[in-house]
Structure 1
Amino acid sequence: MTGPDPLSDVLRSVRLRGSVFFQVSCHGQWAARAAPSREIAPAVMPGAEHVIEYHLFAKGEGWVAVDGEPPLRLACGDIVMLPHGDAHVVSSAPGLRPAPDDERLFRMLGDPKPIPVTYRGGMVEPGVLLPAEDASTVIVCGFIACDLRPFNPLIDALPRLLHLPAEGVGAWVAPVLEHAAAESSARRAGGAAMLERVSEMVFVDGARRYLNALPAASRGWLAALRDRQVGRVIALMHAEPTAPWTLEALGRRIGLSRSALHERFVALTGMAPMHYLTSWRMQCGAQLLREGRATVAAVALEVGYDSEAAFARAFKRATGMPPAAWRRAQQQAGAAA
């Protein structure tokens, strides 16, 4: 059901959905506040469990700040993502007072994307886009939605501010995103779909680049993927989630004792190997329930459970709902989105 690449497995299973919403032009000193994603998610990505905001600096430079973290400076071509959905301030310099919120922005959310917005003179002007030569800074802002339940280990493994410098391995992302925004602005056929796909690519590229840059002593799920032994164990679980894995069997496959594997796995991921296996099976089951018409009993067998009742109990612990009720709720949410 899944391949040997756990990061790709998770990215596929958590239903990434993306969209570019705003093209922001700024002049002089400027500052804008973005609310926590949980407050704006119902308006920008209806039905989404979690929303990540990102900003591409297409021209000029600026700063992004969240409470409790040092301000981050962004140069032309840089992208910043906020994986945990924190409220934040984007500005021309640190410490500036944000422009007052304009409720017209929310009334425009149903308009064709990207929605033009201008910040100048301490004010926000929805529906206005400065000529490129008059703007000191131009920012493309978008949102990426994903599922958190039953199991999404990636979000917690990412920082509150994920900086993707233009000169990095994924330097192709920024020009492609700008091109997609331009296509959509010109109202060409397929422009909206292109924006959605490119937004998803931004997130995938960011996760890969963050994984590749992790220091050797890092902890967390992404660090575990890079570990020679724990990474192999996770890959085995993802490749064969239905196998009757035990701690002893996994340890034999990678050459570690039962106790050594348990200790190393917990140190890196914060959970026991068998707990991880159960969580991944629940995620696989959720994907099957959402995307197909198989009975709960068939799904239980597909993810390694001999008993429908045992699967249902585990699934309810993970999601708070029995499998059949969860499937109905997902279908209703999808119809309403």
Structure 2
Amino acid sequence: MGTLHDPASQSLAAASVLARSPPEEVVADAAPSAAPDKDVLSDVLRVIKLTGALFFWVDASSPWSVDVPRADSFAHLILPRAQHVISYHIITQGSGSLSIGDGPPMEFAEGDILVIPHEDSYAMRSAPGVRSGLSLEDSLDFFRAMAAGQLPFVVNEGGDGPLLTRYVCGFLGCDARPFNPLLGALPPLIRIRRAAGAPSDLLDRLIELTLAEVSAQRPGAECIRLRLSELMFVEVVRRYLEALPPEQTGWLAGLRDPAVGRAVALVHANPARGWTIEELARETGVSRSVLAARFTRLVGCPPMQYLTRWRVQLAARLLTDGLAKVSAVGRDVGYESEAAFSRSFKKLAGVSPASWRSGRRG
């Protein structure tokens, strides 16, 4: 299994790592202008079209076992137009274990929130060794029936044992292509632990609202549940970001770095501007070489490459949702010629802008 990230277990005592880091080279005559008023995480979530897809409740009596196939095998059943499906579970009672693929089991307990961002197959069990015996086709039939409204909102699983585990199952759709910087920054499994007796916070209130909608079953409840599921995912990502250790790399880690985070915010605030590395360095108050090295180390690509990728992602959204000509879309995201735009788009997306539009609308 890949990395498990448990924010509650992360040590925040890594200041010595920063203390050993070499001092940055500051450009003395280049005071940065006011910080751009751009919420980068919200911008990405908007462009990648995060959408609640399916939401139901499971009452599982021991012994119980649930095997969930790769999400790309059932995505077309629950959200046909989504490129990618994220799975999550809220444990409201009981305990069990979850394993990704053939990886080792990770125990969970009441109050935990589990997020599987990368469409991996996984198994949830009441105890090691318990098997469901369901085939892939059985699982697909379940998702097909659930999406069609042919199954009850509360699903009963397992045997007739006394131990009961209750958990919410949620699935979110989003775009993964041409460029989704958030997905690449998330581990295979995120576990958020909500300590018993801790003061109520935003995540607790969102869960309470969701469970209230489940119980009330008022008109419009499904719409509200799906919107609340989107909000819960955003809050989980924020908690993951807040708990990252200082030495962590990745797009989310880059957002909290003063220079890199500011450069990313500038790009998102005005992606059509003809940015250069010199301009971004001047705006962030560090040298060109420092910004390039730090940006590449944290985000995984140089600043200008990130700009190109984000422009193409924006263009993909405009091509999918709008009616503007390809040349107009290219101009809107910063390309002076249709030919240059088409070359950049095809290099990253694998198809021409026109083919992307027809394929996404077909």
Task: Give your verdict on TM over 0.5.
Answer: yes
Amino acid at match of 1:330: R
Give the TM-score of the pair, scaled to structure 1.
0.87
Matched residues in 2 for 1:137 and 1:176: separation? 20
Q: Is the 8 A contact 1:78 1:174 kept in 2?
A: no
Q: Equivalences for 1:1-337 in 2 at 5 Å?
A: 4-67=38-101, 69-101=103-135, 102=138, 104-109=141-146, 110-111=148-149, 115-121=153-159, 136-167=164-195, 170-183=203-216, 186=217, 188-332=218-362
Contact 2:93 2:111 in 1 (8 A): yes
Kindly state the Cα deviation for residue 278 of structure 1 after the two structures are TM-superposed: 0.3
Separation (CA, whole Å) in 2 of partners of 1:166 and 1:19:
25
Cα gap change, 1:189 to 1:113, in 2 (>3 Å): farther
Deviation at 1:29, TM superposition (A): 2.1
Superposed displacement of residue 307, structure 1: 0.7
Superposed displacement of residue 49, structure 1: 0.7
Bigger drift between 216-225 and 287-296 goes to 287-296
- Report the AA paired with residue 4 of structure 1: K
Letter in 1 for 2:79: M
CA 1:289/1:74 → structure 2, altered by over 3 Å: closer, same or farther? same
Residues 153-188 of structure 1 deviation map (CA, whole Å, 9 limit, x = unaligned): 1011111111122347622232222223334xx3x3
Contact 2:68 2:122 in 1 (8 A): yes
Normalising by the residue count of structure 2, what TM-score does the alignment of the two structures yield?
0.82
Query: Is the 1:281–1:304 contact (alpha carbons within 8 Å) kept by the matching residues of 2?
Result: yes
What is the CA-CA distance between 1:299 and the residue it aligns to?
1.4
Aligned-pair CA distance for 1:88: 0.7
- How many residue pairs were aligned? 318
1:69 Cα deviation (Å)?
Answer: 4.7
CA 1:95/1:234 → structure 2, altered by over 3 Å: closer, same or farther?
farther
* 1:6-62 CA-partner distances (Å, limit 9, x unpaired): 111100000111133432111122111111111111122212111111111122222
* Contact in 2 for aligned 1:66/1:86 (Cα 8 Å): yes
Deviation at 1:199, TM superposition (A): 1.7
Q: Tell me the CA shift for residue 273 of structure 1.
A: 0.8
Q: Structure 2 counterpart of 1:268, which letter?
A: L
Q: Structure 1 residues 57 and 99 mapped into 2: Cα distance closer, same or farther (>3 Å)?
A: farther
Report the Cα offset of residue 229 of structure 1: 0.8
User: In the alignment, is the contact (CA less than 8 A) between 1:62 and 1:91 conserved in 2?
Assistant: yes
- Cα distance in 1 for partners of 2:153, 2:258 equals 46
Secondary structure of 1:229's counterpart equals helix
Is the contact between residue 58 and residue 169 of structure 2 (CA under 8 Å) also seen in structure 1? yes
| CA positional deviation for 1:325 | 2.2
Deviation of residue 120 (structure 1)?
A: 2.0
| Aligned-partner SS, 1:194 | helix
CA distance in structure 1 between the aligned counterparts of 2:232 and 2:292, rounded to whole angstroms: 34
Distance 2:325 2:152 in 1: 41
Tell me how far 1:195 sits from its aligned partner: 2.0
Change (3 A) 1:322 1:14: same
Quick check: 2:57–2:153 contact (8 Å CA) kept in 1? Answer: yes
Where structure 2 has 5 or more consecutive residues not aligned to the other structure, the ranges are 1-35, 196-200
* 1:79/1:174 contact within 8 Å kept: no
> What is the CA distance between 1:79 and its match in structure 2?
1.5
Distance 1:218 1:113, change over 3 A: farther
Q: Distance in 1 between matches of 2:194 and 2:209?
A: 12
Retained in 1: the 8 A contact 2:101–2:123? no
Query: CA shift at 1:266, angstroms?
Result: 0.9
